[in-house]
Each structure stands twice: as structure tokens, then as C-alpha cells.
């Protein structure tokens, strides 16, 4: 039986004879079902219509993105370290070319995902490389295709490899997670943030929301808490979920500045 994939968010579901009646990820208030209605596809169909493209963001960090646009159009990031490779977030396409390229780069030691919108075809990727997928336990209910390779961690911090640690920030989702890469930028460090912290198009600010497409804000106290957690980490750059959404220098100041701006507007401290 096929594993159907939602065409709106690219989440892959457990095998069924016919498409599921709905996609709980899209019916959640943080996402949406488009006006045309719920649609479904399969990995085999996507392999005929799409391909993954690659871009180097800095030494040791590559972006992988499906083309044409697929689902939410996020990118996955391949983090290469001497102790092994980590795939950060995931995309809905896995094909033979991607598998061959990744095996040539040393395969995957693990996969870590920021939040449920980017779970996509994580089980396909994990099975192809025989590696675990690290998900925060607070978001377990959003898993649509269970598998023994899924590893649910709890608490606020989870080391993956030397110099690579997951930090739960919450906000967008209860288990919303960022990855801290200590060796990035010549040892200054980097955050891989998905859109738990959304790098904005000006690449000078970031955003914090419960829902981006449905414009549901977070409470100022929650944004202040997230910014304080980030301030305790050493990093210079932040890499977001989408193409050309990164701040390569001065990222801590950008987060602090953005949190202050957000809280001032939400609290009504700024004249419109």
C-alpha cells in the first residue's frame, strides 16, 4: 500500500489503501488547507516530477531544496562534521541521485528536525541511510508515520555529535528546536533555526510566530524567553528554513533587536 503525501505540507503518512480523510498537520491552526482542497501524492510520483538542488552556504554546510517548489518549500541543511553528517530538517523528495550524492559525502549519522511542518518524508530518509531521526517528545502527537528509527528526546538540550547540540526553544511548537553548531564560522558558531526563529527577507531581522501563514502571534513573554535562551549560546550566524534566509554575521544582535521590536509592537508601545 502507498504512503500518501500531503501536497500542501509534504508530510508523508503511514501506508493506507486510499488517501487519508484529512491532513492533521494542515488542519491545525498553524497551517491551512488551501482553497482548492486537500490533495495527495506519492513519493514515486514526486520522483518523476521533481529533483533536489544543492547549494553550499559555508564550508561544511549545504542546502538541499526540491524543485519545482514542493509543500512549504523549506530547505534541508546538510551539516558535515569530522564525526559524521547531520541532516537538519527534511524535504519531501528523496530520489536515487540524492541518495548517491549523500553516500558519496559519507552518508548520515542522524537527522534532526525543528518542528512538525518539516517532518515530510523523514522516515524514507532515515531508512535509506539507516540512521535515527531526533524529534522532541513534546511534538510526538504530530508524527503521521511512526517508525522504530524515530528517537524522541525530552528536556531542553540534546547532544548529537561533538559540537552539535539541539536546543528546545518552543514557541512555534511546544517542541520547537534549533541546532547549535559550535565549529561554524571559524569557531564562532551558528544556529540552524528552521522557522522556530524565522530569518526575514531583509536578513537583518528575525520573526517569532505561533503561525506564520495564519498570522497568530506569540506572547511577548515567550519571545523574550526565546531570545534569552539564544543569548546564552555562542554563535555568529543563523540559517533559516528558506532560500537566502540567513544572517551570516551579527546574528545574536539581530535576534535581540528583533525580539525588542516584536515585543514593543505587540505591547502597543510603538505608534503606528
**Is the pLDDT at 78 greater than 90, yes or no?**
yes
Under the banding of pLDDT at 50, 70 and 90, the label for residue 265 is very high
* Predicted structure pTM score: 0.96
For 232-250, the pLDDT digits (tens) are 999 999 999 999 999 999 9
For 44-67, the pLDDT digits (tens) are 999 999 999 999 999 999 999 999
For 123-179, the pLDDT digits (tens) are 999 999 999 999 999 999 999 999 999 999 999 999 999 999 999 999 999 999 999
pLDDT of residue 185: 81
Under the banding of pLDDT at 50, 70 and 90, the label for residue 213 is very high
Under the banding of pLDDT at 50, 70 and 90, the label for residue 268 is confident
Sorted by where each starts, the structural domains of the chain and their CATH numbers stand as 5-266 (3.60.15.10)
Under the banding of pLDDT at 50, 70 and 90, the label for residue 267 is confident
pLDDT of residue 270: 72
| DSSP codes joined into one string, the chain | ----EETTT--B----SS--S--HHHHSTTS---TT---EE-HHHHHHH-EEEEEEEETTEEEEEEES--TT---EEEEEETTEEEEES--S---HHHHHHHHHTT--SEEE-SSGGG-TTHHHHHHHHT--EEEEGGGGGG-SS--TTEEEE-SSEEEEETTEEEEE--SSSTT-EEEEETTHHHHT-EEEEETTSEE-TTSS-EE-EEETTTTEEPPHHHHHHHHHHHHTS--SEEEESSTT-EE-S-HHHHHHHHHHHHHHHHTT-S--
pLDDT of residue 180: 98
Amino acid at each position: 500500500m502507498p504512503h500518501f503525501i500531503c501536497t500542501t505540507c509534504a508530510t508523508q503518512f503511514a501506508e493506507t489503501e486510499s488517501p487519508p480523510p484529512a491532513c492533521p498537520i494542515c488542519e491545525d491552526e498553524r497551517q491551512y488547507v488551501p482553497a482548492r482542497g486537500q490533495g495527495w501524492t506519492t513519493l514515486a510520483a514526486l520522483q518523476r516530477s521533481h529533483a533536489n538542488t544543492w547549494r553550499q552556504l559555508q564550508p561544511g554546510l549545504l542546502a538541499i531544496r526540491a524543485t519545482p517548489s514542493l509543500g512549504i518549500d523549506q530547505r534541508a541543511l546538510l551539516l558535515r562534521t569530522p564525526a559524521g553528517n547531520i541532516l537538519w530538517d527534511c524535504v519531501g523528495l528523496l530520489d536515487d541521485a540524492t541518495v548517491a550524492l549523500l553516500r558519496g559525502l559519507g552518508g548520515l549519522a542522524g537527522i534532526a528536525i525543528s518542528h512538525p511542518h518539516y517532518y515530510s518524508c523523514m522516515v524514507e530518509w532515515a531508512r535509506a541511510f539507516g540512521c535515527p531521526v531526533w524529534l522532541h517528545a513534546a511534538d510526538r502527537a504530530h508524527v503521521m508515520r511512526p517508525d522504530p528509527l524515530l528517537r524522541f528526546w525530552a528536556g531542553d538540550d540534546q547532544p548529537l555529535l561533538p559540537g552539535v547540540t539541539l536546543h528546545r526553544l518552543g514557541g512555534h511548537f511546544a517542541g520547537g528546536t534549533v541546532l547549535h553548531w559550535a565549529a561554524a564560522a571559524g569557531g564562532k558558531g551558528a544556529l540552524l533555526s528552521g522557522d522556530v526563529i524565522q530569518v526575514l527577507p531583509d536578513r537583518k531581522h528575525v520573526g517569532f510566530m505561533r503561525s506564520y501563514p495564519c498570522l497568530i502571534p506569540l506572547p511577548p513573554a515567550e519571545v523574550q524567553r526565546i531570545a534569552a535562551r539564544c543569548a546564552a549560546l555562542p554563535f555568529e550566524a543563523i540559517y533559516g528554513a528558506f532560500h537566502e534566509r540567513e544572517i551570516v554575521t551579527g546574528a545574536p544582535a539581530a535576534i535581540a533587536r528583533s525580539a525588542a521590536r516584536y515585543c514593543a509592537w505587540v505591547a502597543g508601545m510603538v505608534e503606528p
